[in-house]
Structure 1
């Protein structure tokens, strides 16, 4: 079997089963595990999958610039925004992560909702301007352009001083084995702190994030309420 044929087979199997195990594939295809692992390394380098111990998992398709992500899953994000807005109660303190789904959440909020929203995303803060009863606290730091959120020691220290009722956390992958993941190590560390400073964590997950992973882990699925569109997968957290 040619290398291109093997890689096509591996990607098709990954799409079908949601996981590849190098040992099992080597036995099935009568190849060495080294050959399978080399194919997986090359596919990972090409951005087609995420290598894990013993095999591979689907890579989240959401590692794209903000402008491109705004046009993805628009209807699903609007549905999730309505569900997310219904979770916010008057008077609550809410941490709102960056991301296009959370921009949709802002648009779905009642115009007379009284609450406090804390965010490190300038775009989120600006979108809250038409809401006169929402107190907006913008946390600063070095701007991470891919996600358009503040990062760094100042950002981390500011979030560490907060006690919130809800944290709406942005992630790029939601998987039963790897949990909540994202594409940047520093961002993953900050998200863990944000999640830890709230009484409840919420992830609004579009279908393209379910069953996929990114390189850096944030937390397990049992630490948050995962809100999805359509039928809820049985492996999702609380």
Structure 2
């Protein structure tokens, strides 16, 4: 990695997301050169590229994460939406797949949507969907509510289904999160005993993070894509989890 690439990486980490044009302007080189630098940095797993932007790995920004594998995540969200009936009250936690699900449901169904995500609430501001945004400590990067107040609010509301996001899964650890406060929110939701559905792309499987989501017996269903390994799929089913595989569609 040369000095320019080090500067590019640091700017991306500091800002959370930067466009190719902005990087070219700040470094004084062409956009072609920036793209070459980003390709190298992505190949070495320092960052990710997404639709003209560069983002750090494990970005907390929902919109940034949504741009990664957008088409696939939209297909996952569309499938998840078919599991929800008109008139239901559901909980949607946070994350890019869940944000796409919320938007699909608001456009297709008459539901009440409970969430801790201010990003999701804002995404639905022009729809007719009834949105209940629970309060708490505002976690700015993830645009989500966390903490003891959020836990109390969750305990006082009722919903038939809960869609949650994960950061990792291994059979020896179960589902895991990289954020302790968000893990606490998810675990409070799981304690409610409603149908718990993990909505995620397959990239999270095989990764491990510090904070447990579960136990796994509280997860009813996983919706993911067909890049999930047969071994991971079988491990989930052996744990009593129903697995729905959504096929990836090639880009035309």
1:94 aligns with 90
Find the aligned partners of 2:106 and 2:117 in 1 and give their Cα distance.
Answer: 20
Q: Is the 8 A contact 1:173 1:210 kept in 2?
A: yes
Q: Is the 8 A contact 2:134 2:150 kept in 1?
A: yes
Find the aligned partners of 1:127 and 1:109 in 2 and give their Cα distance.
Answer: 12
Q: Aligned ranges for residues 187-226 of structure 1 at < 5 Å? A: 187-224=182-219, 225-226=221-222
Q: What is the CA-CA distance between 1:130 and the residue it aligns to?
A: 3.6
1:10 aligns with none
Find the aligned partners of 1:231 and 1:187 in 2 and give their Cα distance.
Answer: 26
Relative contact order: is structure 1 or structure 2 higher (C-alpha 8 Å, sep ≥ 6)?
1
Cα distance per residue 1:19-62 (max 9 Å; x no partner): xxxxxxxxxxxxxxxxxxxxxxxxxxxx99xxxxxxxxxxxx96
TM-score relative to the length of structure 1: 0.69
89, 98, 102: which one aligns with 1:106: 102
Q: Is the 8 A contact 2:180 2:211 kept in 1?
A: yes
1:73 aligns with 69
1:182 aligns with 177
Cα distance per residue 1:147-180 (max 9 Å; x no partner): 2101122111000112210000111112222111
Find the aligned partners of 1:62 and 1:161 in 2 and give their Cα distance.
Answer: 36
1:127 aligns with 123
TM-score relative to the length of structure 2: 0.65
Cα distance per residue 1:171-207 (max 9 Å; x no partner): 1112222111111222212210112225200011212
Q: 1:111 to 1:221 in 2, by over 3 A?
A: same
Which runs of 5 or more structure 1 residues have no equivalent in the other structure? 1-46, 49-60
Find the aligned partners of 1:62 and 1:119 in 2 and give their Cα distance.
Answer: 25
2:150 aligns with 155
Paired residue total: 179
Which deviates more from structure 2 when the two are superposed, residues 191-200 or residues 63-72?
63-72
